[in-house]
C-alpha cells in the first residue's frame, strides 16, 4: 500500500478508534471507583500521563509551543477538558449516579455545540438542516439507550449537578480549543494541558478523606486510563478538533453511550434490550448524517 493511501486509511479510522477508546472511560470508572476517590485517582493519572508524554517528547524531539499565549490557551483547555470534565464525571459516579445516566447527560454536548455555533454564526461550523436532522436522530437514539435508567432513584441534585458541570466543561473546552489553540505538536500540547489539569486536581485530591487502595482492579484501571484513554483517546480528540468542524467532532460523542452499553453487556452482563439496539441504529444514522454534511467537512478556521 502506498504511503499516501496508508495515511488516508489511518486518518479515516481515527473517529471510530476514538469512539471505542472514549467509550471505555465509563467501564474504567466502574473498575477503579471502589478503590480510590475521584480526584486522587485523576491526580495520579495526570502525573503518570505527564511523565509518559515528556519521555515521548524527548525521544521524538518534538517542538514545544513558543508563544506564551499558546501555553495559556492550552492550559485553559486542559483545565476544562481534563480537570473539569473528568473530575465532574468521576465525582458524579462516586456520588451514586450510574455510568449510563452520566453518559446520557454528557451526550448532550453535540446539541449544545450546535446551538452555540449557530448562534455565533461561524461560517465553517454553521449547522445545516441535514446536520440538525442528524443531531435530532442521534439524541433520540441516545435517549432510547440510556433514558430508561433515569428516574430509578439514582439521580439526585448533587450528582446531577456534577454531571452537568462535566457537560459544560467539555463543551466549552472543545469550542475554546477550536477557536484559540493554534495547530501544534499533539504530544507537547497534551503535556501542557495535563500539567494545568494536575495543578487544579492535586489540591482537591488533598482534601479527600478516602485513601487510594492499590487493588489489582485499580492498577488495571490506572494503566488503561494513562496508556489508552489519555495518551490514545486524548491525543485523538485533540487531533480531531484540529482537523474537523466542532459540530462534526462532538457528534461523535453521541456514539459513546451506545458503545458503553454494548461493552457493559459484554463485560458485566448488563441487558441489551430491543430499545438499546434501536437506539444504536438511530444514533449511527444520525452521526452519519452530521459527518457527511459538506459543512461538517469544512476545514477549521485559525
pLDDT digits (tens, 9 = 90+) for 43-52: 999 999 999 9
**Cβ–Cβ under 8 Å, residues 258 and 141:** yes
Residue 189 resides in a domain: yes
| Percent of the chain residues past pLDDT 90, beyond the cut | 29
Q: Which range marks the domain in which residue 257 is found?
A: 16-292
- As a whole number of angstroms, the distance between CA 243 and CA 11 comes to 10
Establish if 11 belongs to a structural domain. no
Please check the confidence at residue 121 and state whether its pLDDT lies above 50. yes
Q: Is residue 192 part of a domain?
A: yes
Instruction: Please report, for residues 33, 97, 162, 237, 301, the alpha-carbon distance to residue 210 in angstroms, rounded to integers and kept in the order given.
Output: 11, 19, 19, 31, 45
Q: Is 297's pLDDT higher than 50?
A: no
CA angle (117, 22, 53) in 5-degree steps:
100
- Cα–Cα distance, 200 to 196 (Å, whole number): 7
Average pLDDT over residues 263-273: 73
Mean model confidence pLDDT for the chain: 80
Asked if 256 and 103 count as a contact pair (C-beta separation under 8 A), the reply is yes
pLDDT of residue 247: 58
Helix 85-94 × helix 3-32 angle, to 10°:
30
In a domain, residue 2? The reply is no
**Is residue 110 scored above 50 in pLDDT?**
yes
In a domain, 270, yes or no: yes
pLDDT tier for residue 245 given thresholds of 50, 70 and 90: low
CA angle 206, 156, 264 (to 5 degrees): 80
297 within domain boundaries: no
Q: How far apart are CA 52 and CA 263, in angstroms?
A: 27
**Is the model's pLDDT at 194 over the cut of 90?**
yes
In a domain? residue 228: yes
Number of domains in the chain: 1
pLDDT over 60 (residue 3): no
Q: In terms of pLDDT, which residue wins out, 76 or 137?
A: 76
Among 88-92, 152-156, 165-169, 241-245, name the one with the lowest average pLDDT: 241-245
For the entire predicted model, the pTM comes to 0.78
Which pLDDT band, with edges at 50, 70 and 90, does 289 fall under?
A: confident
Name the more confident of 62 and 237: 62
Comparison of pLDDT for 297 and 230, the residue scoring more: 230
Whether 298 maps to a domain, the answer reads no
Mean pLDDT of 94-102: 77
Amino acid at each position: 500500500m502506498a504511503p499516501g493511501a496508508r495515511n488516508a486509511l489511518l486518518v479515516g479510522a481515527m473517529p471510530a478508534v476514538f469512539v471505542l477508546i472514549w467509550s471505555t472511560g465509563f467501564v474504567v470508572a466502574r473498575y477503579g471507583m471502589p478503590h480510590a476517590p475521584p480526584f486522587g485517582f485523576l491526580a495520579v493519572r495526570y502525573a503518570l500521563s505527564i511523565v509518559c508524554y515528556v519521555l515521548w517528547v524527548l525521544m521524538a524531539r518534538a517542538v514545544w509551543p513558543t508563544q506564551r499565549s499558546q501555553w495559556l490557551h492550552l492550559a485553559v483547555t486542559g483545565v476544562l477538558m481534563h480537570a473539569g470534565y473528568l473530575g465532574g464525571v468521576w465525582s458524579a459516579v462516586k456520588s451514586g449516579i450510574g455510568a449510563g445516566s452520566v453518559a446520557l447527560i454528557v451526550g448532550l454536548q453535540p446539541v449544545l455545540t450546535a446551538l452555540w455555533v449557530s448562534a455565533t454564526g461561524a461560517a465553517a461550523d454553521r449547522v445545516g438542516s441535514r446536520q440538525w436532522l442528524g443531531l435530532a436522530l442521534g439524541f433520540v437514539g441516545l435517549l432510547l439507550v440510556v433514558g430508561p435508567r433515569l428516574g430509578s432513584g439514582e439521580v439526585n441534585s448533587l450528582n446531577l449537578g456534577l454531571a452537568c458541570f462535566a457537560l459544560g466543561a467539555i463543551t466549552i473546552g472543545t469550542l475554546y480549543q477550536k477557536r484559540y489553540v493554534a495547530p501544534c505538536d499533539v504530544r507537547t500540547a497534551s503535556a501542557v494541558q495535563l500539567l494545568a489539569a494536575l495543578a487544579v486536581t492535586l489540591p482537591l485530591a488533598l482534601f479527600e478523606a478516602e485513601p487510594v487502595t492499590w487493588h489489582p482492579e485499580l492498577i488495571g484501571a490506572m494503566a488503561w486510563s494513562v496508556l489508552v484513554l489519555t495518551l490514545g483517546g486524548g491525543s485523538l480528540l485533540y487531533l480531531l478538533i484540529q482537523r474537523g468542524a466542532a459540530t462534526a467532532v462532538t457528534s461523535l460523542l453521541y456514539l459513546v453511550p451506545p458503545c458503553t452499553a454494548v461493552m457493559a453487556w459484554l463485560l458485566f452482563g448488563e441487558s441489551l434490550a430491543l430499545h438499546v439496539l434501536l437506539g444504536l441504529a438511530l444514533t449511527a444514522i444520525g452521526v452519519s448524517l452530521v459527518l457527511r454534511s459538506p459543512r461538517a467537512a469544512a476545514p477549521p478556521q485559525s
